[in-house]
Amino acid sequence: MTSSIDHRSDAALVAAARAGDRGAFAELVRRHQRSAVLAATFALGSATDADEVAQEAFVKAFAALGRFDQSAAFRPWLLRIVTNTARNRHRFARRQQRLMLRVASQVPVAGPAPEEVAGHRAEAEAMVRAINRLRVGDRLILSYRWYEQLTEAEIAVALGCPAGTVKSRLNRAMGRLRREIEQEVTG
């Protein structure tokens, strides 16, 4: 089976979607789905319903495409809609679940030694526990900077905050994460 890859830029896809090409918007969904679900997960505090939030956000984004500034990046704008949608979910305040690491269901035939895998997993679990204790804004800004590799200007769009405050917010979030990690280490 072959799969075709759409090599058009986000800007080209947005322009096509605004012109009525819904296939172009579907490509945007596929391209940014993981980012949207992750942002929803961090905003909700759990992965439960994160895909529904992302789905709703994509529909809202499509409906608002006419107002989207085509000179701007699509993903930060989308992430802002995702987190707003997550905040508006009526079950938002009741969620108590935590982020969960994917449980490896298959034993690798070849690869790192089991003890090495276990070590990595323990590290990841400690990091996830630390992330769980962070406030939503800290999780999001760290994810936007480190995982999504957004620029400070893009983070400002995604968080809906002044661009001049991103660096200090990021530093504070990193400091809080370090403290949480220290707590993991010291028990």
Partner 1 sequence: MTSLEEGFTAAVEGLDLPDRDLADTVLAAIAQLPPVPVEDRRHRVRRPRRRTWAVAALMLAMASAAVMVVAPARQAVAQWLGIGATRIVIEPGAGTTRPVPSTVAPPSGPPTTGPGDDADAIPSLGLPGSIIDGPGRARTFRWPAGDRLPPLTDGAVGAQLTVRPADGEVVTKLVDPAVEIVFVEIPGRREPTMALWIGGEHERSAPGGSPELAQRVLVWVDSGIEYRLEADLDLAAVLALAAEIEPGTHLLPPG
Residues in contact with partner 1 by CB under 8 A are 17-20, 22, 25-27, 29-30, 33-34, 36-38, 41, 47, 50-51, 54-56, 58-67, 69, 80-81, 84, 87-94, 99-103, 120-121, 123-124, 127-128, 131, 142-143, 146-147, 160, 174, 177-178, 181
CA-based Rg of the chain, rounded to a whole angstrom? 18
CB 42 within 8 A of CB 98: no
CB 72 within 8 A of CB 78: no
- For the bound state, the minimum distance from the C-beta of residue 84 to partner 1, rounded and expressed in Å, comes to 5
As a whole number of Å, the end-to-end CA separation of the chain is 51
Amino acid making up residue 86: A
Cβ proximity to partner 1, 20 vs 164, nearer residue: 20
Give the integer Cα–Cα distance in Å for 37 and 126: 22
- For the bound state, the minimum distance from the C-beta of residue 75 to partner 1, rounded and expressed in Å, comes to 15
Give the integer Cα–Cα distance in Å for 169 and 104: 34
Cβ proximity to partner 1, 102 vs 135, nearer residue: 102
- For the bound state, the minimum distance from the C-beta of residue 42 to partner 1, rounded and expressed in Å, comes to 9
Cβ proximity to partner 1, 9 vs 98, nearer residue: 98
The structure tokens 């905003």 sit at 43
Helix axes 22-44 and 50-63, enclosed angle (nearest 10): 130
- For the bound state, the minimum distance from the C-beta of residue 10 to partner 1, rounded and expressed in Å, comes to 15
Cβ proximity to partner 1, 30 vs 172, nearer residue: 30
DSSP conformational letter for 91: T
- For the bound state, the minimum distance from the C-beta of residue 148 to partner 1, rounded and expressed in Å, comes to 10
DSSP conformational letter for 165: G
Cβ proximity to partner 1, 163 vs 174, nearer residue: 174
